[in-house]
């Protein structure tokens, strides 16, 4: 792929990194934080590689000044993080934890002092355990609990934070949490999954309304994972599995939120949970579309699954990332163009990056060329999409730091900065320098 020679990034293009609360904060039992469904999952034998937990993670709760300094060193415009609901409301509702709120005050103020814009995501999967005990997302009341939590956070930080996202990757946490058992709370039940989908959509709509009413000049978005879903084999059964997974993965949240309807393949099954007026409650105007994209996923039939699909493999010879994820930058380009046409919103790429098993060499350097190659290819594809008319306004690498990669524990590393989890020492990898150079304008944007 080659970009138009005259291309340069718009001067207000936002360059950032993304993280999430449970994956980096640690301090899981500190200063009044309540337990989340991920604390519980980490304590369930066999669910997380090597028995890892997020108890300490990157200890960002204590080391955030160092992490802000790292970001400043990279020349970032923006930092997307999530608030841990159980840190500010230990039981999910009711009593507020002032120490938890104060942590995010310090973080936000530190970012602003460093000239980095905070992008706050309300939910990156760490539902308070006390709410899960009441049914969690399968309980329709959870949408109201979320709205109350959103109001608390919006009132507290809305004077300083203008960029807000309701949720991160709706379809991942609902599908993995309620149908496949790859995530918390680890339920595998079709009705529970359908209810969770609809209630999370209602929560999104309610959250948007709260943010709009509470934060002056708010710029509100939602972060969706979208990638092409392909059949593992060229058979009718595999194609049917891929079509159904596609409806769940790519359609079940953006379509109702932005177009006002569920994808045809699942609409009939969700219908029993939809009350009069719900679609209008869900479909609220927002300001931007957050896209998380890595590479395509593959489907195959599974008669024993909650749905009739299972994850398939890419049987092609396509290149892979260090952890085996297939690399198709042209899909990324096409997705950015499709999004612009389908939803007519400015797009921010809120996650993109490559996982690896990065280790320091004898000199202590981490030469993660595999990640640089990936980022070059994907930002090149993004440049092509922008040149072809995609309305992309910013790009956030996943992730700043190596962190707790859910079921894979600390084994899969996505950071631009290496973390030694024994000592908590941070070491920028070669890719961090590459990204800093890109931001500085080495690849065409700003005067160095």
Q: Which residues bind ligand IFM (CB under 6 A)?
A: 20, 23, 169, 292, 351, 398, 405, 414
Q: How far is the CB of 156 from ligand IFM (least distance, A)?
A: 24
Any alpha helices (H) in 5-132, and if so which ranges?
21-24, 37-42, 60-74, 85-88, 98-113, 129-132
Per the structure block, which two tokens stand in for 212?
């709009």
Give 67 or 351: the residue with its C-beta nearer to ligand IFM.
351
288 CA to centre of own chain: 15
- DSSP type of residue 91: T
Q: How far is the CB of 374 from ligand IFM (least distance, A)?
A: 13
- DSSP type of residue 310: E
Give 103 or 398: the residue with its C-beta nearer to ligand IFM.
398
Q: How far is the CB of 184 from ligand IFM (least distance, A)?
A: 12
Crossing angle of the two packed helices 369-387 and 329-343, in degrees rounded to 10: 40
Q: How far is the CB of 320 from ligand IFM (least distance, A)?
A: 15
H and E: helices and strands count for the chain: 16, 13
Q: How far is the CB of 187 from ligand IFM (least distance, A)?
A: 19
Q: In 3-state terms, what secondary structure has residue 67? A: helix
Is 232 annotated as catalytic?
Answer: no
Catalytic residue (one of 232, 351, 384, 405): 351
Backbone φ, ψ for residue 278 (5° rounding) = -60, -40
Is 351 annotated as catalytic?
Answer: yes
Per the structure block, which two tokens stand in for 386?
């922008």
Contact, 127 vs 87, CB < 8 A? no
In angstroms, the CA 163 to CA 16 distance is: 13
Place of tokens 């946490």: 173
Catalytic residue (one of 25, 169, 335, 405): 169
Give 279 or 291: the residue with its C-beta nearer to ligand IFM.
291
Give 167 or 414: the residue with its C-beta nearer to ligand IFM.
414
In angstroms, the CA 279 to CA 390 distance is: 28
Contact, 425 vs 419, CB < 8 A? yes
Beta strands 297-301 and 309-311 are: antiparallel
Q: How far is the CB of 22 from ligand IFM (least distance, A)?
A: 9
Give 224 or 333: the residue with its C-beta nearer to ligand IFM.
224
Give 75 or 326: the residue with its C-beta nearer to ligand IFM.
326
Enumerate the active-site residues: 169, 351
């Amino acid at each position: 792929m080659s970009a138009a020679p005259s291309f340069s990034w718009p001067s207000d293009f936002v360059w950032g990194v993304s993280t999430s609360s449970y994956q980096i904060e640690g301090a899981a039992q500190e200063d009044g934080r309540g337990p989340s469904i991920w604390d519980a999952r980490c304590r369930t034998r066999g669910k997380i590689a090597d028995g890892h937990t997020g108890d300490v993670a990157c200890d960002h709760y204590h080391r955030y000044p160092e992490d802000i300094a790292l970001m400043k060193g990279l020349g970032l415009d923006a930092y997307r993080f999530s608030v841990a609901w159980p840190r500010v409301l230990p039981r999910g509702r009711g009593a507020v934890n002032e120490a938890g709120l104060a942590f995010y005050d310090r973080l936000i103020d530190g970012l602003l002092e460093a000239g980095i814009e905070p992008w706050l995501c309300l939910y990156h999967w760490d539902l308070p355990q006390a709410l899960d005990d009441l049914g969690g997302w399968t309980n329709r009341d959870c949408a109201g609990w979320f709205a109350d939590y959103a109001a608390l956070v919006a009132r507290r930080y809305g004077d300083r934070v203008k960029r807000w996202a309701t949720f991160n990757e709706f379809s991942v946490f609902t599908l993995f949490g309620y149908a496949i058992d790859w995530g918390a709370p680890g339920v595998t039940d079709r009705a529970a999954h359908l209810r969770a989908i609809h209630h999370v959509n209602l929560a999104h709509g309610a959250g948007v309304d709260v943010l709009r009413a509470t934060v002056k000049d708010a710029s509100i978005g939602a972060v969706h994972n979208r990638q092409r879903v392909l059949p593992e084999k060229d058979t009718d059964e595999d194609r049917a599995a891929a079509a159904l997974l596609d409806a769940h993965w790519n359609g079940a949240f953006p379509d109702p939120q932005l177009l006002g309807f569920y994808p045809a393949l699942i609409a009939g099954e969700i219908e029993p949970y939809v009350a009069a007026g719900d679609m209008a409650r869900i479909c609220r105007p927002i300001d931007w579309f957050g896209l998380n994209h890595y590479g395509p996923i593959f489907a195959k039939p599974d008669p024993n699954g909650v749905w009739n699909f299972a994850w398939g493999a890419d049987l092609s010879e396509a290149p892979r990332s260090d952890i085996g994820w297939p690399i198709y930058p042209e899909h990324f380009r096409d997705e950015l163009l499709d999004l612009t046409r389908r939803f007519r919103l400015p797009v921010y790429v809120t996650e993109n990056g490559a996982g690896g098993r990065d280790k320091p060499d004898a000199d202590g350097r981490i030469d993660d060329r595999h990640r640089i190659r990936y980022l070059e290819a994907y930002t090149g594809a993004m440049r092509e999409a922008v040149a072809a008319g995609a309305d992309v306004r910013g790009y956030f690498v996943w992730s700043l730091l190596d962190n707790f990669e859910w079921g894979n524990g600390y084994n899969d590393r996505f950071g631009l900065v290496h973390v030694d989890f024994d000592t908590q020492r941070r070491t920028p990898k070669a890719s961090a320098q590459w990204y800093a150079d890109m931001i500085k304008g080495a690849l065409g944007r700003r005067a160095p």
